[in-house]
Structures are given as C-alpha cells and as structure tokens.
Structure 1
Amino acid sequence: MVKVSVIAPKEDISSNADIEIVKTLESSNADYVYFKNVNDDLYPDLLIEAYEKAEENRLDYVVLNSQGLDTEEIGIYELEGFEGDIFETDFKITSKLIKKSLIKDTFDKDMYLFNFDVILSAVRFSFLDSDVVFEEESLGNIDEAISKINRIFPKLTDYRMYGALKEGFFNYKLKKLFYCYDAVPEDEQEETYWKLKDDFIQIIYHPLYLDFTVGISRLNKMFFDDIAYTEDFNEFKKYIPYYYIKLDVIDLKDEIVEIEMENRRIRQETNRLNKMNRDILNSKSWSLTKPLRDIKRTM
C-alpha cells in the first residue's frame, strides 16, 4: 500500500512502492500527503521517516526539519501549548507531511492560507531532527502580501486560537512585511511605503490595537512606528537607517550568544579531558601508568 502521496506538477523525485507522485490531492491514494515545491531538493527517505513518526504518534502533520526549534528535545506538540513559537519554525506547506483526513473542503484554496488551515486544525504535530532547507515562500507583491497576511487574522478567531497566537502572529506580520519592503527595487520603495502606511493606520484604529502594540517586539515596533507615524516617505528615509542598525546589533548579539555557548562547551570538554588526564597520571596502578609517569617526570 502507498504510504505517501507527493503532490507535484511533475515527477521530479523517484517513486516506489511507498511513494506515489500525483498532480492533485483528489487523485492521491495514501493516508499522508506532501505538497512539493518543484525547486526543493527532497529525499524520499525523509518522507518515509516522517510517515513512520506520524503513524507511531498519531500526528496530524510532521514538519520535515527542525528550523527554529531547540533540537535537544523534540516532542509531540499541541498548538495551544506551543503558541506563538510556531511562527519561528519552518511552517510552510512545502515543509510538512500532512494526514490527508485532516484536510477539509472548507480549507482555503490559496496554498499559503490553506497552510494556516492545516496548522490551526491540527491537534498533534511534531518535527524531524533534520537540517533540510526548503525554498522560501513568496507572498507576491506588497498588495498580495498585505491581503494574504490580513486574511490569517480572522482564521485565528474562527479557530479560537487568537489568544494563544496573537503575539506570534503580529510579530510574524511585521517581519514579513519588512522583508517585502526590503526586497522591492529602490524606485518602488515610496509606493510600497504608502501601501504599508495605509495598512498600519487601519491597525491603529482597530479595536484590538492595544493587543497589537503590547505584543510586538521593540524591533517590530520600531518598523511599525517608522511607517505609521512619519509624515511622508522623505521623513521615513531619515529614520529607517536606525532600524537597520538595530537589526545588525540584534544579529551581532545572537552571534555573540552562539559563540559564548560554543566557548562554554569547549571549556567543559577541556576540563573533562584535563581531569581524565590527571586521574591517569596520578593513578596508583603502576603497570598501567608507568609510561605516563616516565613522561611526567621528564616534564
């Protein structure tokens, strides 16, 4: 019996008795499905590993990598307990093996929003301890990005997950919109600024603005304020360099933390080896340590 249906526009991975390649969800014959991006380099063994984990633990989906996750203890999760941390992981539709029975006809037809229906519907999910990287999703131009991200908001309330996910969602939105702004050509930046400003002003007048302003990080608040409270693009250009400086400082701090953790690990390993060396050199077992004692005397 086929274990996994890979939904792809063409057969760009090898199929076998466990994996079938199909073009539509409706034509799949497996209990688990994977929506493949044609540009992603995927190994079939990874899908089977995810399938086995899903079957063993009765999971609704398995993320095929551990991006953004502490890999020391990968467990079985429920979204309400995982909360906004889900936005820090790789949660694209193309990085999931999904239980087919989870998918409903009412799910959004747009695959970006379909993915949120999957996440918000799932009861149990987990990750693989894998470093495979999948192609970054594209939200299209700034109009499409604003529209798609804003359509996530009512899903949070419809699935009764607003309270648990609001902070993660608000920060996710601002990070995504900044990346959209940062990616546009210079001659399109002013137009993008005004479109973002229109959206941000609507946020200010929304009844849940207090939740928004309390929940976002300082860095995201800085970007939001630079857009929302500047008079025009020329004023915005005076302030945005400070955002990039702050972004660089945060990146540098993250690198310093990683270096400190690695140095701490090296010191612990060095101390362990030094202790082992002292124990050997000071051992009373003459037959075992005589050569080492001879070395020690010559030092």
Structure 2
Amino acid sequence: MKVFHNKIELSQLIEGLKVKGSSIGFVPTMGALHNGHLSLVNKALSQNGYVVVSVFVNPTQFDNQEDLVKYPRNLDADVALLKTVSDSTIIVYAPTVEDIYSNNVKSQSFAFDGLEHEMEGAFRGGHFDGVGTIVKRLFEIVKPDMAYFGEKDFQQLQIIKKLVELHKMPVKVIGCPIHRAKDGLAMSSRNTRLTPEHRAAAPFIYKTLKSAKTKFGTKSAKNVTEWVSKQFKKQPLLELEYFIIADTTTLKPVKRKSTKKTYRAFIAVYAGDIRLIDNIALN
C-alpha cells in the first residue's frame, strides 16, 4: 500500500493513473479509522479503479483545542485496517500540517447559503469555515472523480455539496448511510474515548431518535422536541446539547410540517467530555 506524506508525489501518481483511464474515488478522514470508514472505502472501490484515503487531523475545524490535542492518532493502525480491504487499489495520503497549509494555518471564510449557521454552526464557531477550507484544499490536491461522506455528519455533507456547487468543482459528492454498532450507536472515532459507563449509556441516543421518528408521525415538531428533552433529563450520564427537527434542504428548524418537504432529526449529546452527534430521516 502506497502512503504519501507529500502532495506533489501524490499528484504525480494520480495524474499517471488518470492518463491510463482510471477513475479516482476519495474518502477524506481524520484517522482513527473504524468500520464506518471502511464502509465508505468499500463503496468508493465499487465505483472507482482506485481510492485515495486521506488521514489528516485538520486543526482549523476544531473550536475546542483540547479536543484537537486529544483526538486519536495512529497511522500504522489505520494503514493496517485499510490493507484488510485492499493492498493494491487504496492510496493513503497522510500529509503534515505544513504540506496542507504551508505557513498559513487558518481558515478561509465561506458562505454556504446559510447552511453553515444552523445546528453545528450555531454551537461550534468557525467550524464549517475549517471544513470548507480543508475539503476544498484536498479536492484540489487529489482531484477525485467522486468523493464519499457519511450521513452521520449530514449537515457537513450538505455543506460540501454546496461547496462543490458554488466553486464549480468537478467532483461528484456521494452520501453514504450511517454505519452503526450492533447496539445502534453511530460509529465515530470519538467512541474510543468513552468510558465504559458512558459507552454503555450512549446507545440511548439512537433509541431516542427512533422513538422521536415514530412520534413525529402524529405529533408536532415542538411536541417531539419537548419529549426528547424530558427523556435526557432522566439520563445522568448524558447531557443533551441540542435536538432539532429540520428541513433536509435548508437545514432550518421546522415550524409547521408539510407533506411536500423531507425532514431529519439532529442531535448532539455530551457523554462526559465527549461530544457525540447523530441524526435520523423522519419521512
């Protein structure tokens, strides 16, 4: 498996593969890979000749510096896991901060038609400027034909689609279903930092989302939101940051349901000092 730390060498390889007619899929990650990442890689391999997997903990999208410092990093383990999928058609790009940002480690400012102000944007200042900066940079380096993102970060997925549209980038963005543990917890690199007690409590998040989906069939968004809030007040190990039912296109909170629109419930929860997010389609 080829592992690159330098964008120039990576670009040369990709250019050669494209000359030979190979399509390039791309799965950007921050490492600490798990089966959720592998599901994206497998999807990408099914549609492309080669897949580039980037492993880069991007400093500009962390509003909490302690979270950046503690974010799990183990490139050797990530490469070993990817080899279980394919040793010959996966290319790893694990750049240094300098290779990505040179001497200017800061975000560009982006406008995503208001998508960036909802939910995560309201609670994590500057987060989506950081996401837009790194994804745009990686797209420019890798030049993929298709890029794959999980729906666990549904707001991020919509913003990246908007990024491609606004900047007329020649890449097709593919959203992939949320990959879950057997108990329903959405796969996340942060799950490895949960204490045993918090890990045991965390499946309550998805259980509540499923119940909220059922209730949304007959109740108002306001009623469902109040019910969810009450459920989490009974959970001493989990602290609800937000629960929002939103229009999947605009990501704005729903005020009155319409049969002509699709909705999704979004949630952010603290399990100790670990922040977990999840979402579920409602109709």
State the TM-score bracket (shorter-chain normalisation): under 0.3
Higher-Rg structure is 1
Q: Work out which structure has the larger RCO, using CA pairs closer than 8 Å and 6 or more positions apart in sequence.
A: 2
Which structure has the highest strand share of the two? Answer: 2
Could you say which structure has the higher helix fraction? 1
Q: TM-score, normalised by structure 1?
A: 0.24
